[in-house]
Structure 1
């Protein structure tokens, strides 16, 4: 028998894994609803228990030490077992409310199955879903009206949320002839849509004239306009339907977008944390778009 038995604290493990996933102590603190010094203290306690350093702190970024990298899959396994027990014990007795937001295209394509399974597994957790543009969702969160949101953000912009995937954007149209029209007829969403921002920035940088030929907040409306040959639009490369053409180098290159999951301060536990975990777990293995 060892000299002493060490009972690892799940809260410390969650802090460790969250720091790795978010990339900084500060972002982990925001996601878990704690202060940065409190998170640092938790890691020091965990390192003291394990008697190994878990992070290399010499550089500008937080990276796992060799011991930390070896411990990571074990920590995730323990957290997964803990969360599974909590989620299933008592037939879904966890209760509360989660106010969740996402842009329409993400909500309609990726979330129905995830949210449906979640509500069936946790019937006492009430979900309220808000579909809107990312800046509007972040504004709602800052005013305490959202608990969790999937947003589109700048990959090199402010550190907000946990990165889920990068999103290459492409120009699309019914045929290549649309790209040769001047001024270029654009099919876009109204501001503050990030795809609109990408399109206008690329065209203005290249000095190409353009005009808004069709503006709609509805993804279905924009798709109908594109398929009717009314102009050129921007969408993620992964979801371009077969009956639309990717224009390639006919127009200026577009900067990537990025999808991130953002949790309101104080939402790192309970129903919000449970839904965040399910969203991340499912989207990490999302199937490729057809």
Structure 2
């Protein structure tokens, strides 16, 4: 019976996460040829190439993306088993910065499980606009920051996901989409900027009917029929619906990235980053 090596799968996942063999080798402490041999071993077992060559870069292909999700799940199961039977050894305080919509939809599923596995690690969470979380004045305020980035921007953070920016509303409260009423976060929000810039290029009328920095407030306003909004697809709460209509233009995509600061607790920080990555990409 064929068996995939978890070590090879971990190397594969690291290559995809970091975007290259050399970067993965630096993290894993292996040479680039050694990384290449591990990837070739998986490709031979599966009889399928997992990367395409673009110039000097190895870019994951469709087969690689299919394997990536399953590989992450296998590694999470493996690591979870060891975590249950070994003292975590992780201690300290992790200062996490996260956009408010993800603090509402993503963070609750992480906090409980992470707290049970690593009870001596305390989380201090700050919710704010990505722009503020990454500002120079907050440079030393966080150990880990999850932020939304324009897809064209080159950043040092670790890419978690290319996500669609989608229109959201409440199907039980039909909206007038010929004259669009918008429920948006304040100035500085990437969603707000993208929505306004996109609608300015269209012919239909629009107006901002309500502004609120918190996803709970935005959701409540939408449920009351004050208008529609836009969110990253992975952050849409259960109470809202993704809506599509001929009067609603495409909003494109965004990048969701993780940024690690100069933390005194790198192991705990790396483990929290792993939790966030696995939940977001599930």
> Is TM (by shorter chain) over 0.5?
yes
1:161 CA displacement: 1.8
Q: 1:148 to 1:15 in 2, by over 3 A?
A: farther
- Superimposed CA distance per residue, residues 178-216 of structure 1 (whole angstroms, 9 cap, x where no aligned partner): x223xx432110022121112101111225554322111
Greater radius of gyration (CA): 1
1:271 CA displacement: 0.5
Alignment match of 1:139 (pick from 111, 123, 135): 135
RMSD of the TM alignment (CA)? 4.3
Whole-angstrom CA distance in 2 between matches of 1:282 and 1:258:
16
Whole-angstrom CA distance in 1 between matches of 2:108 and 2:102:
10
Q: 1:17 to 1:140 in 2, by over 3 A?
A: farther
User: Structure 2: which 5+ runs fail to align?
Assistant: 1-6, 43-50
Q: Point out the more displaced range, 245-254 or 114-123.
A: 245-254
Alignment match of 1:59 (pick from 55, 61, 67): 55
TM-score by length of 1: 0.69
Whole-angstrom CA distance in 2 between matches of 1:47 and 1:237:
33
Q: Which residue of 2 aligns with 1:193?
A: 189
User: How many residue pairs are counted as aligned between the two chains?
Assistant: 261
1:52-201 equivalences in 2 (<5 Å):
59-63=55-59, 81=78, 85=82, 87-88=83-84, 91-139=87-135, 143-159=139-155, 160-164=157-161, 166-170=163-167, 172=169, 174-177=173-176, 179-181=177-179, 184-201=180-197
For the 8 Å contact 2:163–2:232, the answer to whether it is kept is: no
Q: 1:257 to 1:47 in 2, by over 3 A?
A: closer
TM-score by length of 2: 0.71
For the 8 Å contact 1:186–1:210, the answer to whether it is kept is: yes
Q: Point out the more displaced range, 265-274 or 115-124.
A: 265-274
For the 8 Å contact 2:92–2:265, the answer to whether it is kept is: no
For the 8 Å contact 1:15–1:42, the answer to whether it is kept is: no
Q: Which residue of 1 aligns with 2:256?
A: 259
Q: 1:190 to 1:100 in 2, by over 3 A?
A: same
Whole-angstrom CA distance in 2 between matches of 1:221 and 1:18:
38
Whole-angstrom CA distance in 2 between matches of 1:190 and 1:94:
38
- Superimposed CA distance per residue, residues 246-272 of structure 1 (whole angstroms, 9 cap, x where no aligned partner): 251223221123333333367894101
Please give the secondary structure, in 2, of the residue aligned with 1:261.
Answer: strand
For the 8 Å contact 1:187–1:230, the answer to whether it is kept is: yes
